[in-house]
Amino acid sequence: MPRSATLPKLTPQERKAVDTCARYLLNNAKYLKYHDYLKAGLPMATGVIQGACRHRITDRMDITGARWTMRGAEAVLPLGSLYISGDWDEYWLFHLQEEHKPNHLALYSSGIPLSKQLLKARCSTTPPPLPIPV
């Protein structure tokens, strides 16, 4: 690339974009193994990936009447990706384990279920006796 910029005798300003591009490619050469990627059958065009992302987002977000906040969309889209990738079952088991820690382990930390702890604390399940008429 630098040679193709030198031969037509480009000015330094005209060469700037060529030199920037050449520097980028040289600095990232270790990542540019397209021959290996093509042999592995991987797509080389970002259009394939962009199209899949656009399609996935449109399928979920562009439902008639739906209104999404950024927070809601960011919460829902990864779940759809987990399902499509086939990782849903593994993720769900992980999710249940993680939810169990703060929501259940504390309740049983002393080995006594919460309902027994409440009964011990004088929370009777029987109604108080009625007053005796005078």
Q: Is 68 exposed, middle or buried (0-12, 13-18, 19+ CB in 10 A)?
A: middle
Q: What is the pLDDT of residues 20-34, one digit of tens each?
A: 988 998 899 888 888
Q: DSSP secondary-structure letter at 84?
A: H
pLDDT digits (tens, 9 = 90+) for 56-112: 788 778 888 888 888 988 888 888 888 888 999 999 999 888 888 777 776 666 666
pLDDT, greater one: 5 or 123: 5
Confidence at residue 89, expressed as pLDDT on a 0 to 100 scale: 93
Full-model pTM? 0.40
